[in-house]
Structure 1
Amino acid sequence: MVADNLLDRRSARRKTPMTRFVRNDIISLIGAAPRHDLAESVGPDLRLAELIHPDDDELGALRLGYATAAGDPKLRAAIAAQHGVAADDVVITVGGMHALFLSAYVLCGRGEEAIITTPVFPLARDALTSVGATVRPLPLRFEEDYRLDWRRLAALLSPATRLVSLASPQNPSGVGLPHAVLTGVLSAMAARCPDAFLLIDETYRHAVYDEDRAASSAALLGPQVIVTGSLSKCHGAPGLRIGWAITRNAALREQIMLGKFSTVIANSTVDEMFALRVLAQAEDIIDARRRHLSDTLARTAAWVEDNAGLVAWVRPDAGALCCVRLRPDVFDEAAVARFYAALGRLDARVGNGTWFGEEPRVFRLGFGLLPVWELEAALDALTAALQQARRSAA
């Protein structure tokens, strides 16, 4: 009888769906790309040939053993130099998402509270829900250019808050968080939840335009701050799965390092070697991308102006992405659905706002991946989809 009951319980458990990780349609970005891809959030990809030198003795002599759990010391020093911190403050992770997940796993137990703003990169939110945290979102409004009022965020803080997770610039909007906003958040946290941590994902910090200077890193704002980043966006190297978590809190840094060791042991030595080469060329790489992003942002701005009767946008502070909204007075819900259907017929895509917790009439437009001439063609396809959806409504 006991054995039968045990089998019954096991059978019941097998019928329970596994829902720890939530599916989001943003996963389509790592599938086959359409002809006109305006959904991506990256710039042009680096090519391996740009990192391999003639007679590359270093590559041939590289030992394919385990790297260290914290990451290659030279690589940590190079990352630290970009943030004004010590190398020992840096833990190398397998991409920026690994850093976000480890921070959530270490800091947020089941039922403990984490605060985010929306719209938000869905994997940043899902890392928190997957560890059982109670996520309290603060919606930011398109009409207010997705600007964060730290006083509104402070109203969500409580003694149960363990983590406030933000990004600057934000994904999907490209809107940055000024220093005064971050210090306001930290001041409120010190008063209401002094043991909580503020995480700032700075993945797009160096993806600036024209003569703009990259904002200063938040890594020096205090020991209750975590900064995450990666080589995926500004440097064009998402194929090198290299990210990082930076904190001046020694106990937290130790836990992130142990979490990394317990999940992946170490990064690839090959990835770390090439990452160091990317950072050695970082100034040239980022300058070239600055020129590209300046050109493609200008073209996107012109497209928005040309279609002002159909769409509005929030101009980004940095990054290869922005948010565009279909005008409510022109597109009802049915017309919004027709717009996405028309994009599919035209072999084009954008990032549906629902991926990020926004309404579907808002979409993320990625203007950094394509060469200018391909961006022109993609924007023409976008215009055609708008016209088709509008004509059908008429």
Structure 2
Amino acid sequence: MEYSDQLQRTGTTALQANGQAWRGRFPYNEIISLLDVNRPFNLAESTSQDLTVGELLDLAGLDGIRDLKLGYGTSAGSVALREAIAEACNVPAGHVITTQGTALGLFLLAFEVCRPGDEAVLVTPCFPPSRDCLLGAGVSVREVRLSFEHRYRLDLEQIDASLSPKTRLVSLASPQNPSGVQTSRADIEKLLALMEQRSPQALLFIDETYREAAYGENVVAESFAGLDPRIVTGASVSKALGAPGLRTGWLTVADADLRSRLLVAKMNTVISGSVLDETLATALLRNRGSVLASRRRLLTRALDELALWCENERDRVEWVRPDAGALCCIRLRADGFDDAAVARFWDLLASHDLQLASGTWFGESERVFRLGFGYLPPERLGPALAALSSTLDRTEHCTVLKL
């Protein structure tokens, strides 16, 4: 079964249980539950800890916010915000278009670049809207599925086999969601060479939302924004900076004609961004050095704690250590959990106040889950991991009783 079929069937089944068949243009995905459910041990979220309005207002550059006029902004985004983004991505400010989150940027890009009969190549597993916005835009999607066994490293041979003259867009994330694995500059250059040969009209979209969520003394990877004019990057203040509620993201677009078309597309969908959100996001980006520094320390400690837990639980789980981000993929070992045990594991989570993100949401198996280690306060991560161990204990106990 194709991934899109699986998601739509899962969603339809869920909604039919409530007497309603799913008829949406966008596939239904259970990740929407994260907006409605927040259990005490929430290991499902992929953000770092949420900033408060008070913390934002304490940042430099917001002294005059009381005088901000709440009129329309521009479709491109405020000049100050685009300048701050340009500095972070090392591109001219004129190449930046602000969007309401990265997902909207990808939707507008796909809607404008692709026409009926065109194709997009999508690297999965991925954040569900990264796929579903393509489907909602009417694009035919060819999936390149990366594997847990190969540590979710980019498979250029698979991508090569999926490219065609019909390809107009290739989409991937670095670092990836759900794994936190980064793609190297060398692999991006090889991918661009393949696209030149096989799909000369295609653009490469790179979601860089987690790029600045690094650990310890690790050097933050440079943005791919200025590497090649065929590259469009997207990112936001949601993940590394902890401000998803601002709904402020962006695209970097080198091609002037495409930028003009995207501005018209944005004008006809959301008109402009919120001037208040953009003002706050500008201050956040201008102070991102200090904001990121404290978050990197928290992420480093949390990753160390998680690594120790994974080592202690190595007989029951295996993981792919992330390169960046507040997230990673963990898999229940096949030699310890059969399919029935995996189903019981998911059924038991709520009774332990636990929340995890199922691998099926992203195009992986139910045996895999995304674990977010940056969202909970430091004093709650240990108890949450202990609750996860208890869930594994009960799952095994159920298996023994059944035998």
Establish whether TM, by shorter chain, passes 0.5.
Answer: yes
Aligned to 1:44: 49
Aligned to 1:299: 305
Asked if 1:334 corresponds to 2:334, the answer is no
- Contact 2:171/2:205 (8 A) holds in 1: yes
Give the Cα–Cα distance (whole angstroms) in 1 for the partners of residues 354 and 62 of structure 2. 41
1:16 CA displacement: 9.5
Aligned to 1:350: 356
Give the Cα–Cα distance (whole angstroms) in 2 for the partners of residues 224 and 309 of structure 1. 45
- Contact 1:292/1:368 (8 A) holds in 2: yes
TM-score for the superposition, normalised by structure 2:
0.92
Asked if 1:256 corresponds to 2:265, the answer is no
User: Structure 1 pair 65/153, CA: closer, same or farther in 2 (3 Å)?
Assistant: same
Aligned to 1:5: none
Asked if 1:160 corresponds to 2:154, the answer is no
Give the Cα–Cα distance (whole angstroms) in 2 for the partners of residues 129 and 332 of structure 1. 33
Which residues of 2 match residues 9-158 of structure 1 at below 5 A?
Answer: 18-53=23-58, 58-158=64-164
Q: Secondary structure at the match of 1:154?
A: helix
1:218 CA displacement: 0.7
1:56 CA displacement: 6.4
1:118 CA displacement: 1.6
- Contact 1:339/1:385 (8 A) holds in 2: yes
Q: Could you report, residue by residue, the CA deviation over 1:14-35 in whole angstroms, capped at 9, with x for unpaired residues?
A: x996331111000011113011
Q: Number of residues paired by the alignment?
A: 380
- Contact 1:108/1:128 (8 A) holds in 2: no
Asked if 1:267 corresponds to 2:279, the answer is no
Aligned to 1:197: 203
Aligned to 1:173: 179
1:347 CA displacement: 1.6
Point out the more displaced range, 165-174 or 245-254.
245-254
Q: Could you report, residue by residue, the CA deviation over 1:59-106 in whole angstroms, capped at 9, with x for unpaired residues?
A: 111111000110001110110011110000000111111111111111
Q: Secondary structure at the match of 1:219?
A: coil
- Contact 1:116/1:164 (8 A) holds in 2: yes
TM-score for the superposition, normalised by structure 1:
0.94
Give the Cα–Cα distance (whole angstroms) in 2 for the partners of residues 386 and 52 of structure 1. 43
Q: Which runs of 5+ in 2 are unaligned?
A: 1-19
1:208 CA displacement: 0.4
Q: Could you report, residue by residue, the CA deviation over 1:90-130 in whole angstroms, capped at 9, with x for unpaired residues?
A: 00111111111111111122331111112111100001111
Larger Rg: 1
Q: Which runs of 5+ in 1 are unaligned?
A: 1-14
Aligned to 2:223: 217
Read off the aligned partner of 2:391 and give its amino acid letter.
A
Aligned to 2:15: none
- Contact 2:318/2:333 (8 A) holds in 1: yes
Q: Secondary structure at the match of 2:394?
A: helix
Percent identical pairs in the alignment equals 47
Moved over 2 A (4+): 15-19, 53-57
- Contact 1:241/1:271 (8 A) holds in 2: yes
